[in-house]
Structure 1
Amino acid sequence: MNVLLVAGARPNFMKIAPIYRASLACGSVRCSIVHTGQHYDQEMSGTFFEELEIPQPRYSLTCGSGSHAAQTAAVMVAFEDVCLKERPDLVLVVGDVNSTLACSIVAKKCGIEVAHVEAGLRSFDLAMPEEINRMVTDAISDHFFVTEESGTVNLLREGKPAERIHAVGHVMVDNLLHQVACLSRQDQTLLKGFHLKKEASPYLFLTLHRPSNVDCRETFSGIARALNELARNRTIFFPVHPRTAKTMKENGIRLADKVVLLPPLGYREALFLWKDAEAVLTDSGGLQEETTALGVPCVTIRENTERPITVEIGSNVLAGTSPEGILAGLRESLAKKERARVPELWDGHASERIWKVLAGGEGDAIKP
């Protein structure tokens, strides 16, 4: 079986890395990594791929940034050439970025089957570009690999065949547990955050990049008020996304001295800090899941989430974007820590289950 495994940006590589590693145990599978280059990232050096224990991509398309339409179109044109050259049996896509949508469309138009990992997740917010990508990708996929029960429910409601839906767990958790093990074997004194963590306890960890939060001055100002209130008696480590840094400067957003602004961090550097935080505040989708997997309290600074299981049984609280909601969300998340649970199958073996279905034709399909 000839498979193209697609990634569009650095976070995607955290998801495809365990899938690629697991493919090596399948003698019938030839798996090639395609990097669409949706986001240029200078951090993605040879060392980056070595840490993930995967080879550099076989194809690097360097499509670059741009509007959603321009970026999607560039990926489609470039990926079509790869498909015509490789004639793969399957294109495997992950998540909900523009590359996921673009490569799925190209594959189907070339008569190639598509497998979607993280299928069925829905925020029901059509203002989110990611929601459009999720819905369209699922509309044309052939194999659906779901991370949580809500994904199964959504796909069945949308008329997808039950025999094509497989609950496998979460490849992001596969990578997370792998990286936690690597950290335990590493000389942690060499990590950038070692002295930061040593000097500040308890501390919070913050990520903020979603356009709806950082592009609107009123919204961002309210979030900043909550952060400054929290920083009265805690340190907050804040690796600042370039988009966020730009809007902070343009809108005159000022944060307290105890909100420590850091440059963007590599995956392992960030993990080293957030895994031991009193709580994580974020508008990221992935961190909602990763914190749930490790039992770290999480406050999601959004009005909705496509990952409801992290709220229903995990350590995540959906706080909204108002100062009052964020402050209350932190109190609630800290209080629910002891009763939070890790979702079923989030055990580090999702990638193996995916290949069991694709390469072996086995695995338990969802019963309608």
Structure 2
Amino acid sequence: MAFVNGKKEGTARRLKKMKKVALIFGTRPEAVKMAPVYLALKNSPIRPVVIATAQHREMLDQVLSLFGIEADFDLNIMQERQSLAGLTSRLISKLEEIYSENVFDATLVQGDTTSTFAGALVSFYHKIPVGHVEAGLRTENIYDPFPEEINRRLNGVISSFHYPPTENAKNNLLKEGVPENKLLVTGNTVIDALLWVTENRSVLTSSFREALGVEEDEYILVTMHRRENWGEPMRQVMKAIKDILKEFPKMKVVFPVHLNPAVREVVYPELEKHDRIVLTDPLDYLPFVSLMEKARIILTDSGGIQEEAPALGKPTLVLRKTTERPEAIKAGTAKLVGTDRDFVFNETVKLLRDSDEYRRMANAKNPFGDGTASKRILKHLCENL
């Protein structure tokens, strides 16, 4: 048998015939949710090609390492205090270079980030079908969350394949005119990722929590980073956190602080001197899962945590006015509390004191899937490519 570039001719022919799917992501939440899809594709007839836009450089690298993912292309797009317009233009320009020199059979993007929209748009320019993982989430307010809501809607227009995580998300897309044969309800891939971590990286010991000086059920886990909360809304929440700790002298707070200066310039002056508040840099996914597992409750403006926390039985108070995940609110696993200082304080105190309400939230059924979303996406791609 002849050899082609050092490979047997038959092998080379099979490799040439393999479908190639570009996976575009750049933030840690995107990477966590795309990792199970990558792992499913890697063990299939479809070759995944990872394009890391990397606007969350350090946090992204943590996830890539955990899941054993190597980027085929790394755009390293991050700039300090970058504007949305500047980020978008750089993404489109660099992605265009890749798509002009490579042939892909499809593109997969995830969620609601600027890299998601830019990736879908460049793929469309090259007439390559786009699959949108976690499609159909809506708040019906284009400025909240900003710019995530409009990114999702624009992707809904561009995408050929839509992978909504829930029936509610599917119905949103149907109302917008997406044909039902282009939709597949999959569940959310973040549950796949969470289960993969607990099964394959089972060293979820207490060592990390011990290093931070916290024990099970004695701390509140806090995350906050969204653009619409920068400035005074975030400052109000920081003050509410101090009020909560004054009310509960034995309670602590662990807060992994986003690297964005707009976040850190509010959080640190407000909280760094408090002796029961632990401020850390953003954590690897593994220790963060460990912290979620043993927290009493979670305060967050993150979307992904609203999906992960129910799988761990952790009541979650959402520091936003709206959520594109109403399933969590309806199921009772999460509650919208906004950013008003008094309201955040009152709702947190009520949850910590009312054992019946706490049990209702902790035991509510997770509405976001069974951990097989990535397998459903793979099957759909195999059938449609």
> 1:297-332: per-residue Cα shift (whole Å, max 9, x none)?
101011110011111114111111112322343335
The aligned amino acid for 1:282 is T
Q: Which protein is bigger by CA-based radius of gyration?
A: 2
- The answer for unaligned runs of 5 or more in structure 2 is 1-18, 352-356
CA contact (8 A) 2:209 2:291 kept: yes
Secondary structure in 2 aligned to 1:193? helix
The match for 1:269 among 287, 297, 304 is: 287
Q: Is 1:349 aligned to residue 379 of structure 2? A: no
**Structure 1 residue aligned with 2:364:** 340
TM-score by length of 2: 0.85
**Structure 2 residue aligned with 1:122:** 138
Cα separation, partners in 2 of 1:314 and 1:57, compared to 1, 3 Å: farther
The aligned amino acid for 2:237 is I
TM-score by length of 1: 0.89
Secondary structure in 2 aligned to 1:238? strand
The match for 2:52 among 18, 35, 41 is: 35
The aligned amino acid for 1:212 is E
**Structure 2 residue aligned with 1:157:** 175
The aligned amino acid for 2:265 is K
Q: Is 1:246 aligned to residue 246 of structure 2? A: no
Quote how far apart the aligned CAs of 1:196 are. 3.1
Secondary structure in 2 aligned to 1:343? coil
Secondary structure in 1 aligned to 2:57? coil
CA contact (8 A) 2:222 2:256 kept: yes
Secondary structure in 2 aligned to 1:230? helix
Query: 2 CA distance for matches of 1:183 and 1:194?
Result: 19
Q: Is 1:97 aligned to residue 97 of structure 2? A: no
Query: 2 CA distance for matches of 1:69 and 1:271?
Result: 33
The aligned amino acid for 1:39 is H
- State the number of aligned residues: 351
Q: Is 1:175 aligned to residue 193 of structure 2? A: yes
CA contact (8 A) 2:221 2:299 kept: yes
The match for 1:68 among 58, 81, 84 is: 84
Cα separation, partners in 2 of 1:138 and 1:23, compared to 1, 3 Å: same
The aligned amino acid for 2:142 is L
CA contact (8 A) 1:5 1:92 kept: yes
Query: 2 CA distance for matches of 1:279 and 1:39?
Result: 26
Secondary structure in 2 aligned to 1:166? coil
Cα separation, partners in 2 of 1:273 and 1:118, compared to 1, 3 Å: same
- The answer for unaligned runs of 5 or more in structure 1 is 363-368
**Structure 2 residue aligned with 1:49:** 64
**Structure 1 residue aligned with 2:252:** 235
**Structure 1 residue aligned with 2:9:** none
Query: 2 CA distance for matches of 1:231 and 1:315?
Result: 23
Query: 1 CA distance for matches of 2:264 and 2:72?
Result: 33
Quote how far apart the aligned CAs of 1:348 are. 1.2
Query: 2 CA distance for matches of 1:154 and 1:200?
Result: 39
**Structure 2 residue aligned with 1:366:** none
Q: Is 1:4 aligned to residue 27 of structure 2? A: no
4+ aligned runs moved over 4 Å, structure 1:
197-201
RMSD of aligned Cα (Å): 2.1
